[in-house]
């Protein structure tokens, strides 16, 4: 242990803010004792260096893993270890030591020094993208998306030049599309307001659109070696169990406690690795329902486990307390999949692949700015005639010149659940073979040629922007999973109709 590390670990209160002001919750100690901090940090970092997952965005100069080809990392990433789980919290078994002969030392160079070799600001950008993608999404899902994103926009400057549609197209399938829009908005801010300089401190990072306390702490600590805490769901679970903190973790007082605990623990020499270790422990060992307490490197400091072993408390899985969730809002919409079979283009026949009419959602709110089929809100028990009347009113605004109808069929019902909305889609399919003059009328923006064409100016009014997209180009638009499901149902309905005829 270096003198520098020893000095910093012997002063655990440096930078801990108002930890001394935190009140105990339920009579339990909600801060770490000074003598606990150094061994807790050491044990967690040692475990991390020997057990961390290999991820495309991760750099650990202290890693004691064998080098592997990161292109195959998807095969090595697991949500939790495969060994037997301890579900109820029983006797503690000493954690397994690392590979024989591996010295219990760390390399001298810091994460920052390694990052500088590849460009510290590019490193910060990669950390930013990965952290945003991993919010609300499993790591195994994120990996391919991260690679595709970085291949298309390897720097923040290149991302800043992208359009929202391009960004959504690459993001499609990850969900929570606000994250993608915030990445784009943040990149534009960094380039236009900061002159391309990536902010390196938490206060600076918090000024970037879409970057909150967690993301700011992750970027600052991992990319710039700043001693800053992070608190996500995994960290909350680990800290709640270490200190036996019950209650709703999203309650204001508990949020303050968890951030203060994280700030108290974060390592001064390796803040980025420590933060990743804390999150990794929650993802791999201290899992929600099946924690591997016998394999936990910090189980000796776990108050929840002590309560379980003594018989005073229940299993460690009682911590953290259950988050109070609101029931999702119920919403019913009528959706019309409009197929153009014969339109303005010379030579197009009824047998040719159709073009689909898409509209753009409002710039704010749920799925802001994304493309969907013409959709209107209706009452949950609205009759077929009421739904069609509502859709006809919308189509009259979208296609003011009128159209010739060939077919109109009911397709079915599909329920899509968002984080706070349970949306029931009542779907129909409308086939038109002719659009009359005036279709590009006032209030409508129409895509001229497929996905990449120019858009006409939008006049005032609430009529959404529209576009016609050939069937073979629908995969390039960046449709949400819900819209893709509607399209799939419409195609199956078309196939059945064709068979019957």
Residues noted as catalytic: 131
How many C-beta atoms surround the C-beta of residue 78 within 10 A?
12
8 A C-beta contact, residue 435 and residue 463: no
Q: At what angle do helices 252-265 and 34-51 cross, to 10 degrees?
A: 80
CA distance 388 to 380: 14
**Burial category of 52 from C-beta neighbours within 10 Å (exposed 0-12, middle 13-18, buried 19 and up):** buried
Q: Are 354 and 373 in contact (CB under 8 A)?
A: no
Task: Specify whether the CB–CB gap between 48 and 61 falls below 8 A.
Answer: no
> How far, in Å, CA of 465 to CA of 436, rounded?
19
* Whether 283 contacts 139, CB under 8 Å: yes
Q: What are phi and psi of 416, to 5 degrees?
A: -120, 125
- Give the phi and the psi of residue 425 in degrees, each rounded to 5: -100, 120
Return the residue matching tokens 């910060």: 124
The residue with tokens 């949306």 is 423
Give DSSP secondary structure letters for 126-190: HHHHHHHHHTTS-HHHHHHHHHHHHHH--SHHHHHTS-HHHHHHHHTTS--THHHHHHHHHHHHH
Pair 224, 197: CB distance under 8 Å: no
Task: Pull the structure tokens for residue 108.
Answer: 């001298």
Q: Rg of the chain over CA atoms, in angstroms?
A: 27
CA distance 121 to 158: 13
- Asked whether 201 and 214 are in contact (CB, 8 A), the reply is no
Q: Per the structure block, which two tokens stand in for 336?
A: 């019309």
Query: Per this entry, what is the length of the chain?
Result: 501
């Amino acid at each position: 242990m270096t003198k520098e590390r020893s000095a910093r670990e012997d002063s655990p209160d440096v930078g801990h803010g108002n930890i001394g002001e935190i009140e105990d919750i339920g009579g339990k100690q909600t801060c770490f004792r000074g003598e606990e901090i150094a061994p807790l940090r050491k044990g967690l970092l040692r475990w991390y260096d020997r057990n961390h997952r290999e991820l495309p965005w991760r750099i650990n100069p202290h890693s004691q893993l064998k080098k592997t080809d990161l292109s195959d990392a998807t095969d090595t990433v697991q949500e939790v270890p495969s060994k037997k789980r301890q579900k109820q919290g029983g006797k503690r078994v000493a954690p397994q030591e690392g590979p024989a002969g591996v010295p219990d030392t760390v390399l001298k160079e810091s994460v920052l020094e390694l990052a500088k070799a590849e460009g510290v600001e590019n490193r910060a950008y990669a950390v930013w993208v990965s952290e945003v993608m991993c919010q609300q999404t499993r790591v195994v899902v994120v990996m391919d998306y991260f690679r595709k994103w970085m291949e298309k926009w390897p720097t923040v400057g290149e991302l800043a030049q992208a359009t929202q549609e391009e960004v959504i197209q690459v993001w499609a399938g990850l969900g929570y599309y606000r994250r993608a829009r915030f990445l784009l908005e943040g990149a534009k801010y960094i380039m236009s307001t900061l002159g391309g300089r990536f902010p390196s401190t938490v206060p600076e990072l918090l000024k970037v659109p879409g970057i909150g306390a967690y993301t700011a702490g992750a970027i600052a600590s991992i990319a710039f070696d700043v001693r800053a805490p992070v608190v996500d769901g995994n960290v909350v679970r680990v800290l709640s169990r270490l200190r036996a903190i019950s209650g709703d973790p999203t309650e204001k007082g508990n949020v303050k406690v968890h951030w203060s605990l994280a700030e108290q623990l974060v390592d001064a020499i390796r803040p980025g690795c420590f933060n990743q270790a804390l999150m990794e422990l929650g993802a791999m060992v201290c899992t929600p329902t099946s924690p591997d307490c016998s394999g936990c490197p910090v189980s000796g400091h776990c108050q929840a486990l002590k309560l379980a072993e003594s018989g005073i408390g229940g299993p460690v899985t009682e911590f953290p307390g259950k988050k109070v969730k609101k029931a999702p809002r119920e919403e019913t919409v009528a959706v019309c999949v409009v197929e153009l079979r014969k339109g303005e283009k010379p030579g197009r026949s009824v047998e040719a692949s159709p073009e689909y009419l898409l509209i753009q959602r409002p710039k704010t709110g749920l799925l802001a700015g994304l493309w969907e089929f013409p959709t209107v809100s209706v009452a949950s028990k609205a009759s077929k005639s009421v739904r069609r009347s509502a859709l006809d009113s919308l189509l009259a605004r979208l296609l003011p010149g009128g159209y010739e109808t060939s077919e109109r069929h009911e397709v079915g019902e599909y329920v899509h659940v968002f984080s706070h909305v349970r949306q029931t889609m009542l779907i129909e399919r409308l086939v038109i073979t002719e659009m009359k003059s005036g279709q590009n009328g006032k209030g409508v923006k129409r895509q001229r040629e497929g996905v990449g064409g120019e858009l006409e100016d939008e006049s005032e009014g609430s009529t959404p922007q529209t576009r016609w997209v050939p069937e073979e180009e629908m995969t390039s638009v960046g449709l949400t999973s819900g819209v893709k499901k509607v399209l799939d149902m419409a195609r199956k309905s078309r196939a059945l109709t064709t068979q019957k005829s």
